[in-house]
């Protein structure tokens, strides 16, 4: 099924719709978001991406990440997708945005203007088995240690932004 997402320029100005796979095949910059959920013990909720994903399948990553659909507001997409992937919603706060580009072995390219959000949640998790292979709550020190020793088990974007998210999370609690 075709899904249209939002092509953007380097300032996140909307350029128009692009089919999701086409954006990844051609490496077109597009709008995206990443969600990091913490619990009351300051543990981070990670998901292991479904192995059948078009890229980065079977890798551990942040709680949820995706793209707003064409004509969908970012503020609506974050709640929709968190519910679709992890089976819950909670209040989300935007931390920052950043751009990154990575080429994958399967010739796809992730070129994203990524908006990063955090939230706090302690309830039930009901992951979508077509999106999420596994999930776990993990202490920050433990995930940082595991990335250092087993970085190949984590997504590129998660590793590249984790330290900034952690710093922003603790600052937001002061």
What is d(CA 170, CA 165) in angstroms, rounded to the nearest whole number?
Answer: 9
Distance from first CA to last CA of the chain, Å, rounded? 45
Catalytic residue among 64, 65, 85, 110: 65
pTM for this structure? Answer: 0.94
Residues 116-144 pLDDT 10s: 999 999 999 999 999 999 999 999 999 99
**Angle made by CA atoms 122, 148, 111, in degrees to the nearest 5:** 75
3-class secondary structure, 173: coil
Helix (H) or strand (E) holding 157: helix 156-172
- Considering all CA atoms of the chain, what is the largest pairwise distance in Å, rounded to the nearest integer? 45
What is d(CA 15, CA 137) in angstroms, rounded to the nearest whole number?
Answer: 38
Domain 4-172 has CATH 3.40.640.10: no
Contact 28, 9 (CB under 8 A): no
Catalytic residue among 85, 110, 112, 133: 112
The answer to whether residue 110 is catalytic is no
The answer to whether residue 65 is catalytic is yes
3-class secondary structure, 159: helix
CA dihedral defined by 153, 159, 160, 166, rounded to 10 degrees?
170
Q: What is the pLDDT along the chain (174 residues), one digit of tens a residue?
A: 789 999 999 999 999 999 999 999 999 999 999 999 999 999 999 999 988 776 677 899 999 999 999 999 999 999 999 999 999 999 999 999 999 999 988 889 999 999 999 999 999 999 999 999 999 999 999 999 999 999 999 998 899 899 999 988 878 777
What is d(CA 30, CA 66) in angstroms, rounded to the nearest whole number?
Answer: 11
Q: For the chain, how many residues are written?
A: 174
């Amino acid at each position: 099924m075709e899904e249209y997402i939002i092509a953007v320029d380097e300032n996140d100005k909307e350029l128009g719709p692009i089919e999701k796979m086409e954006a990844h095949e051609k490496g077109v910059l597009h709008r995206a978001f990443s969600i990091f959920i913490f619990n009351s013990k300051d543990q981070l909720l990670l998901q292991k991406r479904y192995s059948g994903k078009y890229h980065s399948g079977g890798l551990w990553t942040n709680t949820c990440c995706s793209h707003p659909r064409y004509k969908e507001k970012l503020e609506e997409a974050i709640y929709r997708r968190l519910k679709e992937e992890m089976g819950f919603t909670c209040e989300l706060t935007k931390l920052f945005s950043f751009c990154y580009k990575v080429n994958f072995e399967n010739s796809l390219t992730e070129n994203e203007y990524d908006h990063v959000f955090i939230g706090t949640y302690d309830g039930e998790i009901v992951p979508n088995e077509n999106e999420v292979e596994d999930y776990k709550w993990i202490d920050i020190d433990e995930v940082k240690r595991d990335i250092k020793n087993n970085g190949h088990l984590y997504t590129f974007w998660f590793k590249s932004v984790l330290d900034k998210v952690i710093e922003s999370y603790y600052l937001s609690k002061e």
